[in-house]
Structure 1
Amino acid sequence: MPNAACKHHNAASRRRLRICAVVSLIVLLLLAAAVTALAITALRPRPADTTISAMRLTSVSLSPGSLSLNVTLDAVLSIRNPSPVASFAHAAGQAEVFYRGAVAADADVPPGRVGAGGNETVTLRLTVLADRLASYAPQLYGDVVGGAGDVSLTVQTTVPGTVTVLGLLRHHAVVITVCHVTVSVRRPGAQSSSCQYRTKL
């Protein structure tokens, strides 16, 4: 009888050990999966974004007789990198200004680099020439002279670059931003804008 009791006790102990081992293995696997998921989330590059933070009217040349209008704008482009672990090095980009769907002006965005969690500000000089908008000259003249003197423009910027995670992983990215900007000709410095952006990785 004592031998039978000992054998039963040993068998029960082995079962408990096996259960403990299985439970411990499951817990370790779950912890490993959680750590992996967190690592992937942390290392995933977050898209940079660009916005037109300000657009200043610097000069206006108006000739009513010939409907000639030249407007020079300074657009302040802000490039923000929200990622805490990745830098964004961008090549030269392009900014285009549209009036009623037609290209009114363009400018190059100089290359640069935005560190993790950093911001970069670039000022672009844009000259809107009425001869580019010959078919829209009456409307442009009407916007400037008539009404409140507000001109609605669309500014699109395309900035290609490389996202580098922890100095090791590299991803090509193109940041495209479209901003709808209203500039006041009668009140220099007054403007409003709303921007939408998307990033191609």
Structure 2
Amino acid sequence: MDSGNGKQWIRRRRYRCLLISLSIFIFLVLLIAILAVTVFRVRDATTTVNSVKLGGFSTGLNIPNLGLDINVTLDLDLTAHNPNRVSFRYGAGTADLLYRGEQVGDAAIPPGEIGARSSERMNVSLTIYAAKLIGETALYAEVLSGSIDFQTTTRIPGRVTVMGIFRHHIVTYSSCDVAVNVSSRSVQNSNCKYKAKI
């Protein structure tokens, strides 16, 4: 009889250990799930255009081609903000300069990392490809009117990794309408919009 009670005692002990282990495992899974949904919930990273400045501007007549040469450099002061509790690692981004919907200039935004709940400032210079503007007849009218309208767009792809397990890809976008004053050679006004995709 003692051997029967001993086996039953060992069986109960194994059963208790199994229940305790299973309870701890379920508790840890629930804790991780709750933390992932609340504290470590992925929030949208944002890219904000702080200012748009005219870095360089020159116009001239291109007599051999019977056209107008325009060289414009726009300096964008950007801030990328990471509201998450973990770092945001972003890849190579792009900044494009558009004239009437056509790309006439671009610049690369180098990859990097933004710490948890912090921001990083970036300066990007967009230069116009003058050859792409030679055939634009509307450009001549805008130069004569004293104001040239451009659009700048930025795209920065990245990811947030929570607890080394959960990866969330985020892409931030910004779009600005910019009016360049020809006579004062400055940015007359700019209007920007922002969005992010998870």
| TM-score, normalised with respect to structure 2 | 0.71
1:162-173 map, 5 Å:
162-165=159-162, 169-173=166-170
How many residues are matched?
164
| 2:75 is equivalent to residue 78 of structure 1 | no
Moved over 4 A (4+): none
Aligned to 1:3: none
Structure 2 stretches of 5 or more lacking a match?
A: 1-29
Is contact 2:89-2:160 (8 Å) kept?
yes
Aligned to 1:108: 108
| 2:147 is equivalent to residue 139 of structure 1 | no
Q: Which amino acid aligns with 1:41?
A: T
Is contact 2:69-2:134 (8 Å) kept?
no
Aligned to 1:44: 41
Aligned to 2:184: 187
Distance 2:150 2:164 in 1: 39
Instruction: Report the CA distance between 1:188 and its aligned residue.
Output: 4.2
| Shift in alpha-carbon separation, 1:186–1:53, aligned structure 2, 3 A | farther
Aligned to 1:122: 122
Is contact 2:178-2:187 (8 Å) kept?
no
Partner SS state of residue 142, structure 1: helix
Instruction: Report the CA distance between 1:153 and its aligned residue.
Output: 1.5
Q: Which amino acid aligns with 1:86?
A: V
Q: Report the RMSD for the aligned CA atoms in angstroms.
A: 2.5
Aligned to 1:67: 68
1:90-109 map, 5 Å:
90-109=90-109
Partner SS state of residue 67, structure 1: strand
| TM-score, normalised with respect to structure 1 | 0.70
Cα displacement string for residues 42-77 of structure 1 (whole angstroms, at most 9, x for unaligned residues): 321111111222121122221135311111221212
**Structure (1/2) with the larger helix percentage:** 1
